[in-house]
Amino acid sequence: MRTVLPLAWLPMAFATLGAWLDERRALGFTIWRSACRGAGISLPSIATFTLELLPTAVIGALLGGLIVLAAGARGRGGRARGAFAAHAGCTVAMPAGLLLCASALPWPLMLAAEGALAASAAAIVWWLTRIRKATYLRDGLRGVSRIPRAAPASENFPVTNLWNPHDCN
């Protein structure tokens, strides 16, 4: 769980860095925000203006997502599950973040809201993807277990407790 939240925030941090660079280069974020508000907050206008006015922010978000996927591919088990949860949290938070950016909220509050949304979505997905023993009922109540049990050694090697005189030769 320790790596899930930083991985969920990584694409957003790279997108923020890219938006800052676009703002410094050509007032990209300021113009983007004004254009989105002027055209009306709709998904087509946000998508068009984002790709045209904030290209470095888009590249940063994609690069952050690629790093999250690489972290999942590199790890096994918990790392892969954490990267999946972080990617899902980012997928939920990015569209909501674009709508928040185009709103009248101040940008620090908007970044905090998007970070909280990404973290909570990632934590929920991480929690839902773990196998919990408490979800399985007792074998006697249900009849069949979902988890296959290993055969006890006595089934493979029967113990009869009888002495065989031919064993000592």
The predicted model scores a pTM of: 0.68
What DSSP line would sit under 114-154, residue for residue? HHHHHHHHHHHHHHHTS--GGGSPPHHHHSS-SSPPPPPHH
In terms of Cα–Cα distance, which of 79, 60, 62, 56 is closest to 3?
79
Task: Give 10-68 as a DSSP string.
Answer: HHHHHHHHHHHHHHHHH-HHHHHHHHHHHH-S-HHHHHHHHHHH-HHHHHHHHHHHHHH
Has residue 150 been placed in a domain? no
95 is a domain residue = yes
Within a domain: 104? yes
Q: What is the pLDDT of residues 122-153, one digit of tens each?
A: 999 988 887 665 555 554 555 555 566 666 66
pLDDT, tens digit, for every residue of 12-58?
899 989 989 988 998 888 888 888 778 877 778 888 888 888 899 99
| Residue 103 domain-assigned (yes or no) | yes
Q: Which of 32-36, 67-71, 75-79 has the lowest mean pLDDT?
A: 75-79
On whether residue 73 sits in a domain, the answer given is yes
Which residues constitute the domain of residue 60? 4-21+55-129
Residues 93 and 113: their CA atoms lie apart, in Å, by 9
Take residue 162 and report the two structure tokens written for it. Answer: 């009888």
In our burial notation (b when 16+ CB lie closer than 10 A, e otherwise), range 9-23 reads bbbbebbbbbbebbb
Residue 145 counted as domain residue: no
65 domain-assigned: yes
105 or 14: which leads in pLDDT: 14
- Report the domain count for the chain: 1
Task: Give the orientation angle of helix 78-102 with respect to helix 107-128, to 10 degrees.
Answer: 150
* CA 46 vs CA 31, 34, 69, 114: distances in Å: 12, 11, 26, 16
Write the Ramachandran bin of 77: left for phi over 0, alpha for psi from -120 to 50, otherwise beta: left
Inside any domain, residue 163: no
Which residues touch 49 (CB under 8 Å, ≥6 apart)? 32, 35, 36, 39
